[in-house]
């Protein structure tokens, strides 16, 4: 005979799909509501009664709203960290990995049968690189690297004041007159060298993308639009490198000698340690790229040295004479 399980609360027969064992929360609730009931581990409860018990169960004690009057309050240490620039650290790691992957064997996915030998292969490749290849970081650059690292730590403690200004004044919603970056005369923008640009971007990754990024926009169908808010503040609007339908707005504050602050609406545009590729491209063009020849921007066009085979004229008489000589 099948044993009948009855709910300890409503005393109704509980089906196998509906009955649940008693948890500690439910037991405490039953002892508080029904003092005469002594629940055991063999008792069961139906689904509806179980839901009611959880709803009516006492909530855990929370900390008092008035922290100063709560003697048991202990402040928790802050775990929030300001955003750092992972690309500046990743660039060093990827540079070392690129040298290892320069060997064709380590540049491909290996089968599982090679797993016991990969460690030895990497050691051999690293030994060859250390012996015959130039070092990734020369001893002469140690002092410069330390200065850059100290500057990054100092910048990491600051907040993006230009972002706060843009949001406070609502500059993104104001009516602006956009002009192409080639036709817009930005007065007072500083002319910077490659070393000064590298100090702003804290690396060469964004600078290497800037020339090709600007050529893609200036020679293609999508232009970079610029608006001058005031003498020392400009804004620009340009297309995303990854999504053609997405546009980003950015703001740059400058003086006659330096670029002071920047802010972009992309995911990494609000950081103060370095700058995103959109800001780097605009800063590079306004400070150095517009003074160069237009043909030197970006990737060199090797297509002009090629000839269209369908447009080449073939002399049939010479080919027929050569065929007659053969026969």
The predicted-structure confidence for 20-77, as pLDDT tens digits, reads as follows 788 887 788 778 877 777 788 888 888 778 777 777 766 555 544 454 455 554 555 4
Average pLDDT for the chain: 75
**Position 179 pLDDT exceeds 90:** no
User: Quick one: how far is CA 241 from the chain centroid?
Assistant: 13
Q: Which has more pLDDT, 310 or 320? A: 310
3-state secondary structure of 220: coil
Q: Please, is 46 exposed, middle or buried when counting C-beta atoms within 10 Å of its C-beta (0-12, 13-18, 19+)?
A: buried
Q: Give me the percent of the chain exceeding a pLDDT of 70.
A: 72
pLDDT digit string, tens, across residues 186-232? 778 888 888 888 888 877 777 777 777 666 665 655 567 888 888 88
**Position 127 pLDDT exceeds 90:** yes
Q: Which has more pLDDT, 82 or 61? A: 61
299/289 Cα distance (integer angstroms): 14
What's the whole-model pTM score?
0.54
User: Tokens in use for 210?
Assistant: 């800037």
- For residue 49, give the H/E element and its range: helix 47-56
* pLDDT reported for residue 83: 47
Model confidence at 123, pLDDT cuts 50, 70, 90, reads very high
* pLDDT reported for residue 120: 92
80/78 Cα distance (integer angstroms): 6
Model confidence at 125, pLDDT cuts 50, 70, 90, reads very high
* pLDDT reported for residue 80: 45
């Amino acid at each position: 005979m099948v044993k009948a399980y009855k709910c300890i609360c409503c005393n109704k027969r509980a089906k196998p799909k509906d009955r649940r064992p008693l948890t500690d929360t439910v037991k405490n609730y039953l002892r508080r509501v029904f003092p005469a009931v002594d629940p055991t581990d063999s008792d069961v409860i139906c689904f509806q009664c179980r839901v009611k018990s959880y709803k009516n169960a006492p909530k855990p004690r929370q900390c008092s709203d008035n922290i100063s009057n709560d003697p048991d309050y202990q402040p928790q240490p802050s775990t929030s960290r300001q955003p750092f620039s992972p690309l500046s650290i990743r660039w060093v790691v990827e540079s070392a990995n690129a040298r290892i992957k320069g060997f064709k064997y380590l540049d491909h996915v290996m089968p599982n049968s090679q797993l016991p030998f990969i460690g030895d292969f990497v050691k051999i490749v690293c030994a060859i690189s250390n012996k015959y290849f130039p070092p990734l970081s020369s001893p002469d650059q140690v002092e410069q690297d330390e200065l850059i690292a100290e500057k990054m730590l100092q910048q990491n403690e600051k907040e993006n004041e230009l972002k706060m200004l843009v949001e406070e004044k609502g500059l993104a919603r104001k009516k602006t007159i956009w002009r192409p970056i080639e036709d817009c005369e930005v007065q007072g923008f500083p002319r910077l060298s490659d070393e000064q640009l590298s100090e702003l971007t804290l690396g060469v990754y964004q600078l290497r993308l800037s020339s090709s990024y600007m050529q893609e926009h200036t020679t293609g169908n999508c232009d970079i639009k610029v608006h001058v808010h005031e003498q020392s503040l400009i804004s620009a609007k340009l297309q995303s490198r990854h999504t053609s339908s997405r546009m980003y707005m950015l703001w740059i504050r400058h003086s006659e000698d330096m670029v002071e602050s920047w802010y972009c609406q992309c995911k990494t545009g609000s950081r103060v340690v370095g700058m995103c590729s959109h800001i780097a491209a605009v800063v590079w063009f306004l400070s150095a790229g517009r003074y160069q020849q237009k043909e030197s921007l970006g990737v060199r066009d090797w297509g002009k040295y090629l000839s269209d085979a369908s447009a080449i004229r073939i002399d049939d008489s010479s080919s027929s004479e050569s065929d007659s000589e053969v026969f």
